Structure 1
Amino acid sequence: MRKFTLLVALLLSCAFTFAQSIEFTREGSVVASGSAVTVTEINPDKRAMDPELLVVNNGQEALAVTLKVTTMRVTGGFIGFCGFEEGEFGNCIPVNVGTPVSKTMTLAAGASKNPDVELQTPKDDVDGEVMLELIVGDNVINTITVNFLRGSYNSINSLDANTNVYFSGNEFSYHFNDVANRQLNIYNVTGSLVKSVSLETEGTVAINSLNKGVYIYEVKENGKRIAAHKCVIR
């Protein structure tokens, strides 16, 4: 029993060490696990929106690192996973909603690599969200989300939580000052609608029937989306 306890402690210690040594950075600053990055600018030459992230190995030894990319939603373009490979140029793979893509490479001590996860689009109105997970062995050591917003989606601030709708625990509460045709829609990470409720002027919506996990909720008013955000049911 003591040997088993020591083994568990050793594995936890290794996972903690990996979490400290493998990080996302952006413009020289560490992007903390659990945080979100928002991209609003588009490269006119590439017609792509790039968060300009780096995966950095701050440890003392080379590590085999897997980067898993999951598209949670996208409108007006597609997500391309074009980096995180040996050599200067990577193989650009589309990442469709519900079909995560993973790449594994050995990252030398002190080295960094651009994941090159982009929203590629011919349009000026785009909306997308991807989840990036860094994995060493069987351990997910770092998870961040990237929000892509431009044009009309950015102008309505669609990834900020609607101030009239609040998520807490296992329910939503809401309050509006006027009467309108409003609806709350909840989607899972594959983009499937799992719950839809019409909203009055005030009330609550219980969601304890849903499984634990990450969801996207949106609020529509007269058929037009006025807000959307991510929520986590624990």
Structure 2
Amino acid sequence: MSDEKKSTVRAAERALDILLCFVDEGSLGMMEIAERTGLNKSTVFRLLATLEGKGFVKRDSETDKYQLGFRVWELATSLNQSDEPAVLFLPEMERLRDELDETVSLYYRIGKERVRVQAIESKQAIRRVAPVGARLPLYVGASSKVLMAYASEEELQELLADPDWPDSVNKEVYLEQLQRIHDDGYAISVEEREAGTAAVSVPVFSRQGRLVAALAVSGPVSRMNVKKMVQCVPSLKESAQRMGKLVRA
């Protein structure tokens, strides 16, 4: 084997050794990685920069520590026996919960309802309890409006014609809200469906642009004011984008 090929193989082995450091640790600093791998700091720095550029690791600018990136989860889908997004999205939902410290939920639209198919509850003592399997109406709530903001015209008209549509919800106002949500890419609700609770939601699209689900973060209004929810939007959208890349169809 030529010296060039040997050098390439060694670089690949070292990069893989760095990734394997995260098997038992969620995040590591550069010095910790150097100690675990036995590599010098300059080599670890160069390899981390390459792995970060490819999305296999990411650096937290506040702690200056590294964690596994979204590309690892994309590769993992090839090993997963289930293509069900509610299963595939779990690691990213847990990561988002830890980042925002609020309850994270995933919703599908099934007929004239939205169904909570996955939820990762906040670790805070006072938190939003989100039971999986709950069926909720589509005319109220941030996630409902996200799901309908990207629905087809036929699906939207079918919902508006529903005889169970409540008189308390003005259809014209509802349509205006959906248009704004479609333009902004997110929805916010404050005590719309449940007293004392607020939520912010974004759409999850597959690689082909198909609407898969609505991703939401919710919590008590004492913490989830409008300002905070707007601040959550970039993180929500980034998570939704990573989730979408895991869906093949």
Q: Same fold (TM over 0.5)?
A: no
Hey, which of these two has a bigger chunk of helix by percent? 2
Give the TM-score normalised by the residue count of structure 2: 0.24
Give the TM-score normalised by the residue count of structure 1: 0.25
Greater relative contact order (CA < 8 Å, ≥ 6 in sequence): 1
The structure number with the bigger radius of gyration is: 2
Hey, which of these two has a bigger chunk of strand by percent? 1
